[in-house]
Amino acid sequence: MLRCPVRGCHLALTREEKRVVCARGHSFDIARSGYINLLQPQERRSKNPGDTVAAVGARRRLHDRGVTEPLSYGIAEMIDASSGDVVLDAGCGDGFYLGSLKRQAGFDAHGVDISIPAVEAAAKRYPECEWIVANADRFLPYADRSFSIVLSITGRMNAGEFRRVLRDDGRLLVALAAPDDLIELRGVGRDRVGRTIETFAKDFTLVDQRRVTTLVDLDSAAVQDVLLSIYRPIRAQPAEAMRVTFSLDLLLFRPR
């Protein structure tokens, strides 16, 4: 199901012991922790490909406190996955959502992200899923119609590629930061629902829409982690304990 990411190639990748290789001889390493690195040399050289080690660590500590569990339940309820599903999380980060959902539903799970620290953290904690490092902006490195469910959880969106890798009877869940997400730390955000539905309208029909919100009392260390995980710590003063809102707009689409 994996495809070579080299532009103009896109042949099937075959798994060998420590690498995957296409028929044209393009070869990519399987890391010791089990993920496959499909970044090409020019992408590896780029300065800041995705989340840093610090941001990944901060986000994982927040997940481990249970802060995002209600959001995960909301996503699980909406996708209603079963063990027969084949699920892609595009922009999987540290793998929390995909890894947790797989442990509940038992489906075949695949995650892709451009950040090596994020995917490494995912692979170490959830070895039962397949994890890929790749730049998915232009090409998702999977065969057409590979998945019954595609997740995009506050990640970069590529409607055409989501449609290509999704089966005709599949479903796509897009999670966006809601306007009240982290409102205590960054003010009211934009409502991105309308524009996102428009972006997907050519390939997808919206079938369900919900907002899932949770308010959490965080100590100062956890607030610091929120600041680290979302944007660079812009506050000069130390973070203080406070109640923080986490809120996602969930959109469920079916292919047209």
Task: Give residues with Cβ within 8 angstroms of 102, minimum separation 6.
Answer: 87, 109, 126, 128, 129
For residues 256 and 251, what is the distance between their CA atoms, to the nearest angstrom? 15
Shortest Å, Cβ 7 to Zn ion = 9
Which chain residues interact with Zn ion by CB under 5 A?
4, 6, 9, 22, 24, 26
Shortest Å, Cβ 18 to Zn ion = 17
Which of residues 9 and 242 has its CB atom nearest to Zn ion in the complex?
A: 9
Shortest Å, Cβ 143 to Zn ion = 14
Which of residues 22 and 149 has its CB atom nearest to Zn ion in the complex?
A: 22
Shortest Å, Cβ 72 to Zn ion = 36
Which of residues 1 and 9 has its CB atom nearest to Zn ion in the complex?
A: 9
Which of residues 27 and 104 has its CB atom nearest to Zn ion in the complex?
A: 27
Cα torsion angle, 76, 125, 56, 238, sign: positive
Output the six-digit token pair for 187: 């003010």
Residue nearest to Zn ion (CB): 4
Q: Which of 197, 213, 177 is nearest to 73 (CA)?
A: 213
Q: Which residues pair with 110 in a beta bridge?
A: 88, 130
- The alpha carbon of residue 234 and the mean position of all alpha carbons in its chain are separated, in whole angstroms, by 25
Alpha helices in the chain (DSSP H): 41-45, 53-64, 69-79, 96-105, 116-125, 159-165, 183-186, 193-200, 220-230
Q: Which of 121, 176, 131 is nearest to 153 (CA)?
A: 176
Shortest Å, Cβ 115 to Zn ion = 23
Which of residues 10 and 164 has its CB atom nearest to Zn ion in the complex?
A: 10
How many CB atoms are closer than 10 A to CB 18? 10
Which of residues 26 and 254 has its CB atom nearest to Zn ion in the complex?
A: 26
How many CB atoms are closer than 10 A to CB 198? 9
Shortest Å, Cβ 2 to Zn ion = 11
Q: Which residues pair with 211 in a beta bridge?
A: 249
Which of residues 3 and 171 has its CB atom nearest to Zn ion in the complex?
A: 3
Shortest Å, Cβ 36 to Zn ion = 14
